[in-house]
Chain A
């Protein structure tokens, strides 16, 4: 079993839709959770960073962490064509410097 599971998609939604991206994980020691956006042929860009459980909102983006279910989500409201990219989740334990990545979900927002 992989440490982090992420549906690769592809996911295609109409402009303005609410997008839900998800990752599950197996290691209950993970404490730090990140979402990255990667445009084609570019390096990933940090979107959201959360610690432990709870929600965090930044503009149209909301990150949720449910540690009891070992499940994290990224919601994108009012999706735009410019949101079309691959979204990667990442996480790490409290100690150590190893980060674990999902495989990425490819999202296309259709105008």
Chain B
């Protein structure tokens, strides 16, 4: 099946700093990628939809200036958490839509801890 790689898998950063998470589709091109946040034992919460070459579409309640998303190529989308706070600590997951657009494949997820 299609492979989506997410990096880093774990990151610890200090409050006030920024951290970038990368999401790459390794063996297919993805015009659309999605970013989710997941709290322990909770379902996926869609943060934004990222389309290659255009601005991301953010879900209601998600601060676009805090969670910067860039989708510069058909195989790479990045999420930058700016001025991180401890409450931003969470599991962040990306997914990529295959060219048929009919299904999505998830990355392995990134654990962010802000101290």
Contact = CB atoms under 8 A, between A and B. Distances in A.
A64 B34 CA distance: 26
B93 A44 contact: yes
Q: State the main secondary structure of chain A at its contact with B.
A: strand
B19 interface: no
23 contacts: A32-B102, A32-B103, A34-B103, A41-B111, A42-B108, A42-B109, A43-B4, A43-B6, A43-B109, A44-B95, A44-B106, A46-B104, A49-B102, A49-B103, A51-B102, A88-B44, A90-B104, A92-B102, A97-B32, A97-B49, A97-B101, A98-B49, A101-B44
Contacts of B34: 99
A46 B105 contact: yes
Interface residues of B, number: 23
Interface in A12-57: 32, 34, 36, 41-46, 49, 51
Interface of B: 1, 4, 6, 32, 34, 41, 43-44, 49, 91, 93, 95, 97, 101-109, 111
